[in-house]
Amino acid sequence: MSEFINFYFIPGVVLGSIYALGAIGITLTFGILRFANFAHGESMTLGVYFAWSMVQFSGLHPLVVMPAAMLATVIVVLGIDRVFYKPLREASVVMLVIASFGLMLMVRSVIQFTWGVQLKTVLPGIQMPYVIGDILRIAPKHVMIVAGALLLMYAVHYLLTYTKIGKAMRAMSDSAELARLTGIDTEKVVMATWIIGAALACAAGVFLAIDTQVETRMGFKLLLPMFAAAILGGVGRPYGALAGGLIIGLAEELSSYPWVGNEPLLNPGYKAGVAFAIMVGMLIWRPSGLFRGKVF
């Protein structure tokens, strides 16, 4: 039992929190700007590299420089929106998806060009876990990651529920036409969406980098699980993305638990496919997702 919790459940929760943070950005762009942003993983990678540079420069803990890295990511993402997405806003949605697909590769090649492809780390060394009652083993960084993710999610919740712009975003997500009629400034909402998405993507990336390492393809590796989490939770539903992220993270880890006999239930080589399988199942049985999101 202790093994189940320590090596399957806790890593699943940690991974799930990271997925959830990333998926919130995807679900918001999907819901409000109405397109699947394939470049979202790359915002994440970019944020990590900003954080890495700042850690190198200042010698501070990655969590300390994270706000600055988030700011830098937000600025770049807003710039990308201005140059590449805005001119296409009036065209069809699919043009935006194609553009984001191209941007995914463009941003990645800029990262590879600027920072090189060598592996980097933001937090070297290993951390021995806290051992609680001889059974539970929790690494300090995992406490940090989950706590940080919860904090950020609460901030998003607060923003969406109590602020004017948050309410506007929700209105826009429910019905763009209606929102426009009631005099909501669409461009402002679009900006807010990018800001939240980029900031959370950066945070998710930094958390992942703290848990593992920094490399140029890390964002793309998370893209599919994040999409899966967003669809599972219901498009346009931030709470859904939260639940979806956790479920996907847990499912990936638990799929290789030896539920029957001594062999892993699923060959770990297929772990990456679990998220996708769940997503396809969801598309078949309930495309609106757990939280009754939108289906376009």
Partner 1 sequence: MEQLYGYGLYAISLFTMGGIYAVLTLGLNVQWGFAGLFNVGIAGFFGIGAYATAILTTAASQRHLGGYEMPYAVGFLAAMALSGVIAYAVGKVCLRLRSDYLAIATIGIAEIFRLILKNETWATNGPRGVSEVPKPFETLPEPWNHISFLLLVLAIVAIVYVLVEVARKSPWGRVMTAIRENETAAKAAGKNVEAFRMEGFVIGCMIMALAGALMAHYLKFVDPNVTEPLLATFLVWVMLIVGGSANNKGAILGAFLMWIVWSMTEILTGRLPDELAIRAAYVRIFLIGLALQIFLQKFPQGILPEKRPAAQGKSADRGVVGEP
Partner 2 sequence: MKLFKKLVIAVPALAFLAGVAQAGDVKVGSAGGVTGPIAELVAAIMKGRQLAADHINADGGLLRGDMLKLVIADSACDPKAAVDAGNKLVNVEQVVAIVGPSCSGATNGMVSSVTIPAGVTVLSDSATAPSISDLKDNDTVFRASASDAYQGAAIAALVYKAGLRRVAMTYSNDDYNAGIANVFEREFSKMGGTITANQAHEPNKASYRSEMATLSQGGPEALALFAYYGSSGITIIKNSLENGLFDKFYAADGMFDVSVIQQIGADNLRDRLWITQAASDTGDMSYQRFADTYKSAGGNPEAPYAAHGYDVTFLMAMAIEKAGSADRNKISAALREVASPPGEVIRPNQWKRAKQLINAGRDVNYQGAAGVNDFDANGDVTGLFSLNTVGPDGKWSRTMLK
Site residues (CB under 8 A) for partner 1, limited to 90-149: 91-95, 97-99, 101-103, 105-106, 108-110, 112-113
Q: Are 241 and 23 in contact (CB under 8 A)?
A: yes
List of residues 6+ apart from 3 with CB closer than 8 A: none
Buried b (16+ CB within 10 A) or exposed e, 197-228: bbbbbbbbbbbbbbbebbbbebbbebbbbbbb
Residues making contact with partner 2 (CB under 8 A):
3, 6-8, 10-11, 14-15, 18, 112, 116-119, 121, 124-129, 137, 139, 208, 211-213, 215-218, 221, 253-254, 256-258, 262, 264, 267-272
| Phi, psi torsion values for 131, nearest 5 degrees | -105, 120
Q: Choosing among partner 2, partner 1, none, which partner's interface includes residue 231 (Cβ < 5 to 8 Å by kind)? A: partner 1
Q: Are 230 and 173 in contact (CB under 8 A)?
A: no
Kindly state whether residue 276 participates in binding partner 1, applying the rule CB under 8 A.
yes
| Phi, psi torsion values for 100, nearest 5 degrees | -65, -35
Kindly state whether residue 266 participates in binding partner 1, applying the rule CB under 8 A.
no
Residue 236 to residue 279: CA distance in whole angstroms: 16
| Closest approach of partner 1 to the CB of residue 112, in Å | 5
Q: Coil, helix or strand for 120?
A: strand
Q: Choosing among partner 1, partner 2, none, which partner's interface includes residue 218 (Cβ < 5 to 8 Å by kind)? A: partner 2
**Residues that bind partner 1 in the complex, under the rule CB under 8 A:** 30, 35-36, 38, 84, 87-88, 91-95, 97-99, 101-103, 105-106, 108-110, 112-113, 224, 227-228, 231, 267, 269-270, 272-273, 276-277, 279-280, 283-284, 287, 295-296
